[in-house]
Structure 1
Amino acid sequence: MQVQPRTPVWTPPRGDDVEMIEVGEYWDVVRAPADIGERALALLGDETGAIMADYGLMYWLIPAGHAQTWQLLRREIHALGAERAGVTYVGVPPAAHTTGPRLHWQIPVGPDRYLTDADRLCEALSRAVSEAAEGGDGPMMPQVCARCDKPTSSPVVVAIEHGASVGGRTLYACPGKCAESFPKLRDPFEQSLPDRYGPGQAPTRESRRHRPGPSGETAS
């Protein structure tokens, strides 16, 4: 059963700029690579809620508080909630941005399309991961190894660069030595504000609500 109010209590930003929204106040977020996400979306069908997309990544909005009990399916699939690393933000596109490849609404927020049921999404993603592992759609396309810069016909996903506010991409490596020696990247998507701004420098909730706008005005 999809968990969503008839009319969303939160709406995407207006205007032309991506806005950084605090996770956990209105919703949590589940991020997945597009190859897995598209499989999950097909399984969810009309049960899916709104989805943001950014190059090779997809983002579902789920009810706030559910990220804490999220089952780890694969290391590229992340559930982000308010309690995991202090205050966490995600880039959210304006409501009018509905085409890619940059950050946009693949399925826009609407009166009947808002949050996705967390359990149903987990089930769909779990099945999508299993199908991908079984080669349900055949072998992966050749990719360039991020370690040796040579093409490989058997690419292994080693990392996904964050793309919630800028272009993101999936990084591949040759199987074996290249994949095993690829350094683990710290995911900026999971950084808290103190990590980004330094001790005592993170903006307060009040200052975020009254930050300067494009013309110097403050947002209320």
Structure 2
Amino acid sequence: MTSWAPPPGDDVSLLPAGRQWAMVCAPTALGEWVTTYGCSGAMIAGPAGSAWLIPPEDTSGWRRMHQPIARHVDVIARGHALVPHAGRTRGPGPHWVHPPGIPHGWLTAVPLLYSDLAIAAELHYGPAPPTAPCLCGGRGHPACAADAGT
């Protein structure tokens, strides 16, 4: 996975998307569920919702998202986005949330984030189509591990 770290300090900067990271944006309710119950990495929380930075080469899979995720999640692969600096872990404004028990890193693994958002969206907005399997492969969520027999 691509390596990236935000600038040091506790400020925010307008940074270019698409070179070192792309951004997955979701409503606050989904972000709160993911950081509480999911296995995804560091999240940017702010007044506009929740966001995760992913490797820029991993954006193509998001274009094929199933409903209900596609209606509530957006991917920013071009342009600019406000990104908090490494030390900004409290609001107001955009700040990092590091879920407890999840290895500290700045870019989030796409399969786990996709699966976490699918579960959160189903719980919040209703069931997803039956053709939308969890992408963690039985490695990311306790329920998936039990289904996979691991």
TM-score where L is the length of structure 1: 0.48
Q: Compute the displacement of 1:88 (Å).
A: 1.1
| Residue 90 of structure 2 corresponds to residue 99 of structure 1 | yes
Partner of 1:148: none
One-letter amino acid matched to 1:88: G
CA distance in structure 1 between the aligned counterparts of 2:10 and 2:59, rounded to whole angstroms = 29
Indicate yes or no: 2:69 matched with 1:88: no
Residue equivalent to 1:69: 61
Given the superposition, is the C-alpha separation of residues 114 and 15 from structure 1 closer, same or farther in structure 2, using an over 3 Å criterion? closer
Q: CA deviation at 1:43?
A: 3.5
Q: Which runs of 5+ in 1 are unaligned?
A: 82-86, 135-220
Higher relative contact order (CA 8 A, sep 6+): 2
Q: Distance in 2 between matches of 1:16 and 1:116?
A: 21
Larger Rg computed on CA atoms: 1
**Is 1:38–2:32 an aligned residue pair?**
yes
**Does the 8 Å contact 1:13/1:92 carry over to 2?**
no
Q: 1:29 aligns with which of 23, 26, 29?
A: 23
Identical amino acids, percent of aligned pairs: 32
Which residue in the other structure is 1:79 paired with?
A: 75
In the TM superposition, residue 15 of structure 1 has moved relative to its aligned partner by 4.2
- Per-residue CA deviation, residues 61-92 of structure 1 (Å, 9 max, x unaligned), is 112122222015143311122xxxxx411111
2:87 alignment partner, SS class: coil
- Distance in 1 (CA, whole Å) between partners of 2:11 and 2:116 is 32
5+ residue gaps, structure 2, are 127-150
Question: Normalising by structure 2, what TM-score?
Answer: 0.68
Q: Is the 8 A contact 2:84 2:96 kept in 1?
A: yes
Cross-structure match for 1:52: 44
* Secondary structure of the structure 1 residue equivalent to 2:71: coil
Q: Distance in 2 between matches of 1:35 and 1:65?
A: 27
Distance 1:117-1:15 versus aligned 2 partners, 3 A rule: closer
Alignment size in residue pairs: 121
Distance 1:39 1:20 in 2: 27
Q: Distance in 2 between matches of 1:56 and 1:17?
A: 17
SS of the residue 1:100 aligns to: coil
RMSD: 2.7
Deviation, 1:56, is 4.9
